[in-house]
Amino acid sequence: MQVIPSTSLNTGLRIPPHSMEAEMALLGSIMLRPDAIYDMLDIVTPPSFYFEKHKTIFETMLELFGKHQPIDILSLSSRLKEKDLLERIGGTTYLTELSSAVPSSANAKHYAEIVMKKFMMRQLIEASEFLSHLGFNEAGELEEILDHAEKKVFDITERFAGSARFRDLVPLLAEAYERFEKLSSAEHELRGVPTGFKSLDDILGGFQNSDLIIIAARPSVGKTALALDIARRTASLHQTPVGIFSLEMSADQLVDRIVAAQSRTDSSIIRKGVRTQTGTWRDDVFKNIRDALDELSRTPIYIDDQPGNTIMKMRSAARKLKI
């Protein structure tokens, strides 16, 4: 009997990663205990199977499961015959072979994890071929090509990381207790990251995970100064890494503003300087600036002032900063 894999990967003479035994054991486990599907729905899907016939059988199992029908040799063979697929998967003989592939369904989840791992490895191989084709696309826009390349790889990692959906309440309660305990102490009055502005923190409770904060006002009323001050305080006081994308001002201009705020020096002095009769900066001003530079050197702030920044470019830079 010829085995037809469900993959179009062109890997030359090398066979893509797969496990015939794990796929058979997984399908056999489901036939022994149909509700084992609950344990693997977030792990494998029909495309996870390397062999086309296993993909077809699993799809039929899901179909029967969704209709609350039994998943056994009789039901599977009947449904596959209706779809004119029974002979293609090897007939009733192969279904019987699957049902006896494992003695019990106790390790069904383990078999599913093996199948998933092999599938992810094949996805990486496919991604590498995709990246190779992108690299030869000399007529394309470089920015768009790089974004497609990053998205391809990140899609694979997110697919792997997103396999678990529900979270058990018990560990969530333990995490909640830790948060509440911190909130009850004098040292941790806020749930989120403090902005450094009490009136703002009273409203927001600090910056929370996944928050989108928009600073809106008329031109030249201090929006940039406020944003930089929040970034500076967040990074310096709490050592929370902060990324700044500047679409108008250069990194040098932003740094001047940050140093002025940290040293409590008027920004006009930073721009023009306050000199003595000998032409040098006043010692007290320069000392404050030196101290500020020393303090800021330990602050995790990252500035991107690339001209013509686009959403794709900023998304790419944010990904790298997160890593």
Structural domain contains residue 7: no
* Residue 286 in domain: yes
The three-class DSSP label of residue 33 is: coil
Query: How far apart are the C-alpha atoms of 270 and 259, rounded to whole Å?
Result: 8
**Residue 130 in domain:** yes
219 is a domain residue: yes
For the segment 142-192, what is each residue's pLDDT rounded down to a tens digit? 888 888 888 888 777 766 655 555 567 777 777 777 777 776 765 556 777
How far is 95 from 248, CA to CA, in rounded Å?
Answer: 66
Q: Are residues 220 and 132 in the same domain?
A: no
Instruction: Using DSSP, state whether 230 is helix, strand or coil.
Output: helix
Q: Is the pLDDT of residue 99 over 80?
A: yes
Q: Residue 274's pLDDT is what?
A: 57
Pick the last residue of a domain from 103, 118, 137. Answer: 137
Distance CA 204, CA 194 (A): 9
Q: Choose the final residue of a domain: 94, 119, 137.
A: 137
Identify whether 290 is part of a domain. yes
Separation between Cα atoms, residue 34 and residue 29, nearest integer Å: 8
Q: Is residue 154 part of a domain?
A: no
- pTM of this prediction? 0.51
**Does the pLDDT of residue 12 top 60, yes or no?**
no
The CATH number of the domain holding residue 78 is: 1.10.860.10
- State which of 137, 170, 194 marks the end of a domain: 137
The count of structural domains within the chain is: 2
Q: Does the residue 256 lie in any domain?
A: yes
* Residue 173 included in any domain: no
Q: Which domain holds residue 129?
A: 20-137
| Amino acid identity at 268 | S
DSSP state letter for 48: G
What end-to-end distance do the CA atoms of the chain give, in Å?
47
Same domain, 131 and 221: no
